[in-house]
Structure 1
């Protein structure tokens, strides 16, 4: 009698399990379909983002902006990071929808919370990526502006500006995720304001000589011509060409670059008027 009861109970369990599987088949099929469609959509979007980054680079005018964009995309792999992030975001959303389609109460609550958190995570990632790109563009702009002088000061200022932009973007992203960063924002504002002010002052002081040379060359280009032989201090030579900041003299030892400010501050003797007609 006990054996018959055990067999009957096992048969009832199997029948119940079979009925549960049959009942769940539509949900399983729906979940599987959602995962497949989500994977395909994620793959397409990843390719589209990579192509968009390449098109942006191709349409940018040659020069500083394109250089900064290419350095950010290629060196820091910003395009791959953005495409990969979108890929996994879409897969995560597909997984959430698939689990909800299974109608399992234990997991549905977790998935609902995750679904509400994913958009915030996506916005935070976009903010950080935008901060990285903007910081690199600002850094290159400062370096390009100061390419003719005060290189050490410009490098520090450019790096500090880049770090400030990225840090600010990271704090905004953290706030978007629901973290309390009010204290960190105030500290960052104070520190970065002081640091940027000090760096800008150092850059300005370091660029004084460069600015003096540029202003003096305006006077030099009006007063002297290529081919004239001049003596300034202990240096003597024939003017072969000029730049925005200096005059190049040719003598027996080779070419000598004289800063433009020396023509304004030191006595300069014009020795002859033999202008180079080929210049």
Structure 2
């Protein structure tokens, strides 16, 4: 009985000794890791503060002029772009510090996982740059199309600009997803089917009755070049002045009365000046 008790006592002593030795051996690593975390955290905060102050005026102003700041506000993101960049850099540094602390503690699995995350970051940054540049380009092209259509006296100039801008944004989103390694084949198929359906619908609408409307729209484009507003004319025996040439019909004014005539009729009939 005494021998069994002595054996149990020796086992307990050996276990406590092993635990104590491991704790004593691990304690310097734990202190070192904590010290690295503390210094790394302070360094990351310092870098964030310096970076935000350095780029606040230039970056925020650039994004405001490009329209990206307005897009962020529409997405309910109230933080300034410089603060967002500073926060991203802060967390990247902090992740690197955590990886260093994990190496000190011998946590190779944690370190390997963080390394894989860091390996994916370049793709994320590239995708973000592509998206930002694409949105800027889309806005620029949309403005160019709108300005050109406005100069050509096309009343639906803003609609054309919006279509151009949206088309470019869709293409940029597809490229961004491909940069992130996402299979975009399904998305491309959906976009293709959607565009084909819209095109087929427009063709069907034209065939079923939109022909007169389209004819009036095209006629309105030519009327704006040949029939200036305020020009006195006579249409169907009624005299008046051109008040406005709309997308589908032209409005005339005779004293206090106004009447409209479809643009296609003005192209088909004789209008006396």
Shorter-chain TM-score bucket reads 0.5 to 0.7
Q: Which runs of 5+ in 1 are unaligned?
A: 61-65, 271-279
Q: Distance in 2 between matches of 1:91 and 1:251?
A: 70
Give 2:120's aligned residue. Answer: 117
Structure 2 unaligned spans of 5+: 1-5
TM-score (norm 1): 0.61
Are 1:209 and 2:212 an aligned pair? no
Distance in 1, matches of 2:243 and 2:60, equals 41
Report matched runs for 1:77-226 at 5 Å: 80=79, 86-87=85-86, 89-102=88-101, 103=103, 104=106, 105-135=108-138, 145=149, 148-149=154-155, 154=159, 158-159=162-163, 162=166, 164-181=167-184, 183-184=185-186, 187=189, 190-191=192-193, 194=196, 208-221=215-228
Is the CA contact (8 Å cut-off) linking 1:249 and 1:256 kept in structure 2?
yes
Indicate the residue corresponding to 1:32 in structure 2. 38
**Is contact 1:49-1:82 (8 Å) kept?**
no
In 1, are the aligned partners of 2:68 and 2:135 still within 8 Å (CA)? no
Match of 1:235 among 233, 238, 257: 238
User: How well do the aligned residues superpose, as a CA RMSD in angstroms?
Assistant: 4.9
Q: Given the two structures, how large is their TM-score scaled by the length of structure 2?
A: 0.62
Structure 1 residue aligned with 2:73: 74
- 3-state DSSP class of the match of 1:107? helix
**How far apart in 2 are the matches of 1:189 and 1:122?**
26
Residue-by-residue CA offset, 1:53-81 (whole Å, 9 max, x unaligned): 541266x5xxxxx6x65653432357859
8 Å CA contact retained: 1:240, 1:249: yes
Distance in structure 1 (CA, Å) of the matches to 2:195 and 2:226: 38
Q: Is the 8 A contact 2:123 2:180 kept in 1?
A: yes
What SS does the aligned partner of 1:178 have?
Answer: coil
Aligned partner of residue 231 in structure 1, secondary structure: strand
The corresponding residue for 1:273 is none
Deviations for 1:116-151, whole angstroms, at most 9, x for unmatched residues? 112222222333444455555555665663784458
Secondary structure at the counterpart of residue 236 of structure 1: strand
